[in-house]
Chain A
Amino acid sequence: NAGVTQTPKFQVLKTGQSMTLQCAQDMNHEYMSWYRQDPGMGLRLIHYSVGAGITDQGEVPNGYNVSRSTTEDFPLRLLSAAPSQTSVYFCASASASGTYEQYFGPGTRLTVT
């Protein structure tokens, strides 16, 4: 199992550009989520999904879109990048049965200039 994979690992954008951060998991997990992590702070939930076709907003959803067309993939779209979106982005997945243990990907470091 590859677990949770994220691409790209690093990205630099100019203000106003759009892009999609990719996240995939091969564990057949129902639950997937996106977090951002800023220096000296914990993770903040952006969006999450409890299954294909179902998404919901987290704590900081503005400026981001998600969709969940398959169980495996959960892309995060930045519609018009802003410097405030400079952060490290983590995707996570979890099984709906048992505990709520989330498996995190390695992260994408995004810089918006």
Chain B
Amino acid sequence: GESVGLHLPTLSVQEGDNSIINCAYSNSASDYFIWYKQESGKGPQFIIDIRSNMDKRQGQRVTVLLNKTVKHLSLQIAATQPGDSAVYFCAEKWPDSWGKFQFGAGTQVVVTP
């Protein structure tokens, strides 16, 4: 999920396969991370979060992995469905700040039948 300017990285996934979306975050002291999903023409929607004292968290069909050593976050979506087609963003919370989040550029996920 690295920024490439105007063109988002795209992940094409076949329906039913698992998806893995990656994100590199910038601040080694960030203490909280969120994954958001944004469908076309809508605001971002919360998917799952993880605190920096964890390395894995599971939700319904989604798993977030955190590797603090290399400042890397990933979102795994199991059995990807057409409704999962969207742009996915990771966001990191700056330490000692209640409300300051920095968002990644996003990854476009396209689910093909």
Q: Do A and B bind each other?
A: yes
**Which A residues touch B32, using CB under 8 A?**
100
State which of A42, A49, A58, A101 has its C-beta within 8 Å of the C-beta of B34: A101
Q: How far is the CA of A87 from the CA of B34 in the complex (A)?
A: 23
* Number of residue pairs A-B, CB distance < 8 angstroms: 69
Quick check: A101 and B44 within 8 Å, CB to CB?
A: no
**Which A residues touch B41, using CB under 8 A?**
107
State which of B44, B98, B105 has its C-beta within 8 Å of the C-beta of A104: B44
Q: How far is the CA of A96 from the CA of B99 in the complex (A)?
A: 9
Quick check: A42 and B106 within 8 Å, CB to CB?
A: yes
**What class of interface size applies to chain A in its complex with B?**
20 to 34
Quick check: B89 and A50 within 8 Å, CB to CB?
A: no
**Which B residues touch A4, using CB under 8 A?**
43
Q: How far is the CA of A4 from the CA of B32 in the complex (A)?
A: 23
* B79-104 at interface with A (beta carbon < 8 Å): 89, 91, 93, 98-104
Quick check: A105 and B99 within 8 Å, CB to CB?
A: no
Q: How far is the CA of A59 from the CA of B92 in the complex (A)?
A: 13
**Which B residues touch A43, using CB under 8 A?**
44, 89, 91, 103
**Which B residues touch A17, using CB under 8 A?**
none
A-B contacts, 17 listed (Cβ < 8 Å):
A40-B3, A40-B6, A42-B3, A43-B103, A58-B100, A92-B43, A94-B99, A96-B98, A99-B49, A100-B34, A101-B34, A101-B49, A104-B44, A104-B45, A106-B43, A107-B42, A107-B43
List the interface of chain B (C-beta within 8 A of A). 3-8, 32, 34, 41-46, 49, 89, 91, 93, 98-106
